[in-house]
Amino acid sequence: MKATDLKLVVQEKYGEIAKQSKIQNESSCCGATSCCSTVDYAVFAENYDKENGYNPDADLGLGCGIPTQFASIKEGDSVLDLGSGAGNDCFVARAIVGENGKVTGLDFTDAMLEKARANNAKLGFANVEFVKGDIEEMPLPDNQFDVIVSNCVLNLVPDKQKAFAEMYRVLKPGGHFCVSDVVIQGQLPEALQKDAEMYAGCVSGAIPVSEFFEIVKQISFQDIVVHKQKAITIPDEILLTYLNSNELDKFHRKEIGIFSITVSAKK
């Protein structure tokens, strides 16, 4: 599938997800549909209840970590959230940067932007804004942000090299990113990698962890730190849609597998 087509798949699916509640999203293993033929984001989500600034209306259960916990955001910082969805991580970041900081959410799905802006209107934050744009070509100036966060989004971007290059461009010198993302260990079967619904559910768009770090280094980011890593547990009845019995054994032995990681690096 071409990159442009994959982006349309992601936009369409997340447009549907934006119209649902977190409970609705988590009640189905493939979110916006009634099937159970795919592995979806709900298996990755973490609990934000104890995070300062948490707004339940902005939490659709789409993350695979809590990057703001490790992002070393300071009061007064300018923060960019890539793939900001309904605004969950933006509002947590706003609680840290305070009145003197600024938080910008970037998303390319209209329904998500509408939901985020409605949530922000209720909260009344003048220093939080949501901008429409593609992570591979951000409509943002150079050297603008102290910190970039992202939560289970970069795996959905077809060209990771472009994404990290754009992150480098918009960060201030000495700025840093902290992202939670999905990566793979070993070689996942082709059927699993190419399924478009799986792509929109965060798995097939993920790249090998070694490739992830190689791209980060190629873009000239430094001081790479892995703050957290966990294996994703997926029911066998779902995995068997994509794996034969031999591949399933390898998955159980973690010779192949799907992991969420929270990583930071500095410009």
3-state DSSP assignment of residue 142? coil
CA angle at 143 for the pair 123 and 69, rounded to the nearest 5°? 50
173-196 mean pLDDT: 82
Domain housing 114: 3-266
What local confidence, expressed as pLDDT, does residue 176 receive? 98
Is it the case that residue 14 has pLDDT exceeding 80? no
56 class by beta-carbon count within 10 Å (0-12 exposed, 13-18 middle, 19+ buried): exposed
pTM: 0.85
pLDDT in tens, 211-230: 999 999 999 999 999 999 98
Please compute the mean of the pLDDT values over residues 136-158 and round it to a whole number. Answer: 95
Taking only the tens place, the pLDDT of each residue in 80-95 is: 999 999 999 999 999 9
Tokens describing residue 114: 């509408």
Confidence of residue 194 (pLDDT cuts 50, 70, 90): low
- How many domains is the chain partitioned into structurally? 1
Q: Average pLDDT of 225-244? A: 83
Residue 142: per-residue pLDDT: 98
Distance (Å, rounded) from C-alpha 212 to C-alpha 260? 12
Instruction: For residue 43, name the pLDDT band (cuts at 50, 70, 90).
Output: low
Residue 53 and residue 73 in contact, taking contact as beta carbons nearer than 8 Å: no
Alpha helices in the chain (DSSP H): 3-18, 22-26, 88-97, 110-123, 160-170, 190-194, 196-200, 209-218, 236-239, 245-252
Predicted confidence band at 201 (pLDDT cuts at 50, 70, 90)? low
Average pLDDT over residues 128-132: 98
User: Beta strands 171-185 and 257-266: pairing type?
Assistant: antiparallel
Query: For residue 21, what is the domain's CATH number?
Result: 3.40.50.150
